[in-house]
Amino acid sequence: MGQKTKTILVILFPIQIFLVGMLARHPDWVEEYYSNGIYLYISRFLRILFGWLPFSFGDILYTALFILAGRYLYKQWKKINAKPLYFVKDVVVVLSIAYFAFHLLWGMNYYRQPITWKLNIDRQYTVEELVRFTEFVAQKTNEYQEQITHDSLAPVHIPYSKREIYQKTEGAYTLLKDQFPEFEYKNPSLKSSIYSLPLTIMGYGGYLNPFTNEAQVNGITPAFRLPMVSGHEVGHQLGYSAEDATNFIGYLVTSNSNDVYFKYASYHHALGYCLADLFYKDETQYKRILTTLHPGVRENFKELNDFWKKYENPLEPMFKSVFNTFLKVNNQKEGIKSYNGVVGLMINYENSRHTAF
């Protein structure tokens, strides 16, 4: 790449940032022309291109880029020391290209209308509503645990392979589109990440590769958690960037599934969020509901807690801090806390259905 081309790309970088900032002020436009317009074709094309591969092309791409960057630094170190401004220019060129590709291929979804606008539901709720909904979810979790194990003492173990879980997730989305046509999922691209161990060390259950539109799942997560993680990452593929939105979509697709293991995964996951919220808002009610849970349900919570404890490390808070900053920069003001926003969405969704809980 010539110096003239590099100079143009450097100049374009701040212009891109300015234009994205301008577009962010017009979520209606982003919703109509990007999220429900050009993005639908981009995402379908990328899933057709890479979805058939049995491995993550995006993970391979990241690996190759990392190796090439290391090779460049090693071979050009003397030149970098001699002319550091040229190196800075090269870095800005890479950032300019990456910034453009990220926002074109997926990132503009951060600035679309929120899912509350899309589905006409609220996020606000009272403590009383939280208590009633937590009781409802606890009851459902107990019911499905006993239906599966026929023993209130036994934890649930999903008998499916990861591939079967991904296929059943695709089938669950097919069912969901009858109720929510906007969540139609065509040309699936849902895979275990080859970096599942690093993801675990960083404390993540999965991620969407914005450059290849592959939904990446942390494949070493306890199996009973995988249906929710899979549903969540596909939600990102469908163009929903907010973490509360994709948590909610994961809840919708698994709770409306016709598979009992998926239903258990859905309510168990929702119960974890509700209990965490209730602990801070009404500890007495939290303790009361906790005593109603079947030992098998609590054992699954222990299994999940033991899993994450096994991989605790001093770097995890740093990774979470970086991700928290990334979310805030990309229009999610609550950062990582936005995951917990799913509680309000679930409560108001069930209220809208006039569910007695």
Consecutive 10-residue runs of the chain (357 residues): their mean pLDDT? 82 93 93 95 96 93 92 82 81 93 95 90 89 95 96 95 95 91 92 92 90 95 94 95 92 94 96 91 92 95 90 64 55 52 89 65
What does the mean pLDDT of the chain come to? 89
* CB 320 within 8 Å of CB 203: yes
Please tell me the predicted confidence (pLDDT) of residue 75: 82
Structure tokens at 7: 């100079």
Structure tokens at 265: 């995964």
Please tell me the predicted confidence (pLDDT) of residue 335: 46
- Sketch the domain layout of the chain as residue ranges: 3-111, 115-352
* CB 276 within 8 Å of CB 265: no
* CB 292 within 8 Å of CB 142: yes
Residue partners of 46: CB distance under 8 A and separation at least 6: 105, 189, 212, 213, 214
Please tell me the predicted confidence (pLDDT) of residue 80: 78
**Spatial separation of the C-alpha atoms in residues 343 and 142, rounded to whole Å:** 19
Please tell me the predicted confidence (pLDDT) of residue 202: 83
**Spatial separation of the C-alpha atoms in residues 111 and 236, rounded to whole Å:** 13
Helix spans in 76-183 (H): 77-82, 84-105, 115-119, 127-149, 162-176
Please tell me the predicted confidence (pLDDT) of residue 173: 95
pLDDT per residue as tens digits for the range 269-326: 999 999 999 988 898 999 999 999 999 999 999 999 999 888 877 765 664 565 456 4
Please tell me the predicted confidence (pLDDT) of residue 87: 82
* CB 237 within 8 Å of CB 173: no
Please work out, in degrees rounded to the nearest 5, the angle formed at the alpha carbon of residue 113 by the alpha carbons of 108 and 118: 130
Residue partners of 172: CB distance under 8 A and separation at least 6: 227, 231, 253, 254, 256, 257, 258, 259, 262
Please tell me the predicted confidence (pLDDT) of residue 228: 95
